[in-house]
Structure 1
Amino acid sequence: MARSNLLKDTVSGQVDVENILLRLKIILSDLDDENILGWIEGELRGYGEEDIVPDYRIIKGRPMGTYVVNGHAKYSEALVPLNFTILGKEMIDEMLTLNVRDGISTIEKNLNSKNRDRLGKPIATEICHTISNYELQILSMTIRYAANDFEAILSKVKGKIVDIIMVLEKNFGSSAIDEMDISEQVIDDPEKREEAATYINQLVYNENPTSIELGNKNKIKNSTIGKLFGRK
């Protein structure tokens, strides 16, 4: 079977991921599945503070900063030993963790910038002072995140896109994908639409097939998808 141009563009790496997602959004809109479109919108526009971000968008950083040990030795741009602060393990873990909520285009731009190796989350001075003690006085600190972690997000999204396009090709054909119009087939064969929507939901949300209840516009029941969008 001949492959669609959309699939070729995705794997070539010559077209940015945002462009691929926008084209995919047009095609997937014919499936009329709010959960699939919700994932597309999250990746395009970013995830709001009220949204639970996908696991692949949760990354851990390293605390780098300037601090004084025992009132004498001063270290600059060094790894901050947070275990010597008043913070417990859980609070340290929370401080180092970043839920990447930016849209995919912002992630791509950051990775293509000259500061790609200095991406980080600055910690307010008052917080640095609050968690300090005599043994460790933190003057300034930034949680640095590796560019590889952001590249892994892009890689994960592209992998899902490739799988989704292959499902669409199998169910609707490469020509329909290139024309970005599967509406007639969706209307003529509702079962084909439902099968495609079910598989794509599983690909997007890593769902077990038994946790998705078909019918009633693919209503999600006690699943990860439902939790992501606040449904029960």
Structure 2
Amino acid sequence: MPKSKIIQAIVDDDVDLVRSLTRLQVLAHDLRNKELEKWAENELVGYSSEDDVPEYRHAKSINFTYSGINNMVHQVENAPLDPGFLGEDVLNQIADVRFTQSLIAFEALLERSDSSILLDRSIFASVVDKNSNGGIQCFSIGQVIPKSFVQDALAEIKNRLLKSLLLLEEEFGCLDELGIDVAGHSPSRIEHINYEINSGILHIQVDPPAQKEEPIGSKIAWNVVVPIITTLVGGLIGAAIQPFLGLLMS
């Protein structure tokens, strides 16, 4: 069983993800784990356009609805729209959706009364009009994202958060203090722990910790000491058996 109350609270849903990620951000800073600290920060405040957005925040959808005029006569509301009317160039732009908003805004998508999340794509109404030869005139276009996508993404955030905390607890003990005391842990061990989290849990491509070579002074000392020891041991053995050799020769 986990020893840390923060872990138990997360498992029992007694603490929200925002507070839990803030806690992880502090621990990551103590470990000098910039990747983990940045991940927690990005989830809290959102990702910039330059950031690599994790795969669980990518949704793929070519499911569209529209409200407007069909066949130049019939008015429709939230009717299915054939994605072919948007054209290949537009679909390449919008089929892969990056959800970059903060965690609070991301969670708020589930609070809407709609059965699905609709992203406004009305800007492409003229493209549909052109590709349908005027047969479909859109007042609004929505790209449909199932709410289960957000639920799955939030579950993955919680999973990575928990795995990181469990690994840290295994190494450093209870995590309920303000931070982690890394005293008594070698820098190489800290590097190894950070690598396990970044590579194995966050799935970030990072280089493994470099193998620490033995200091050159130690190598030189060992190369000097070993021959001396060998010579001394050989001399002692020779002196010890010399009387026996003399008896054999006599």
TM, length-normalised to structure 2: 0.74
Query: 5+ residue gaps in structure 1?
Result: 217-232
2:51 partner SS: coil
The equivalences for 1:106-125 within 5 A come to 106-111=105-110, 113-115=111-113, 117-125=115-123
Note if 1:91 corresponds to 2:90: yes
Query: 5+ residue gaps in structure 2?
Result: 212-250
In the other structure, the counterpart of 1:23 is: 23
Cα shift at 1:108: 2.0
d(CA) in 2 for partners of 1:68 and 1:114?
Answer: 27
Is the Cα–Cα contact under 8 Å of residues 18 and 103 in structure 2 kept in the other structure?
yes
Moved more, 102-111 or 17-26: 102-111
d(CA) in 1 for partners of 2:141 and 2:86?
Answer: 15
Matched residues, percent identical? 20
Count of aligned positions: 207
d(CA) in 1 for partners of 2:122 and 2:154?
Answer: 29
CA RMSD of aligned residues (A): 2.4
Is the Cα–Cα contact under 8 Å of residues 53 and 101 in structure 1 kept in the other structure?
yes
d(CA) in 1 for partners of 2:14 and 2:202?
Answer: 26
Note if 1:130 corresponds to 2:131: no
1:129/1:95 CA distance change after superposition, 3 Å: same
Note if 1:195 corresponds to 2:192: yes
In the other structure, the counterpart of 1:155 is: 155
In the other structure, the counterpart of 2:144 is: 144
1:44 partner SS: helix
TM, length-normalised to structure 1: 0.79
The structure having more radius of gyration, on CA atoms, is 2
2:87 partner SS: coil
Tell me the amino acid that sits aligned with residue 99 of structure 1.
R
1:121 partner SS: strand
Is the Cα–Cα contact under 8 Å of residues 24 and 37 in structure 2 kept in the other structure?
no
Note if 1:37 corresponds to 2:28: no
Cα shift at 1:19: 0.6
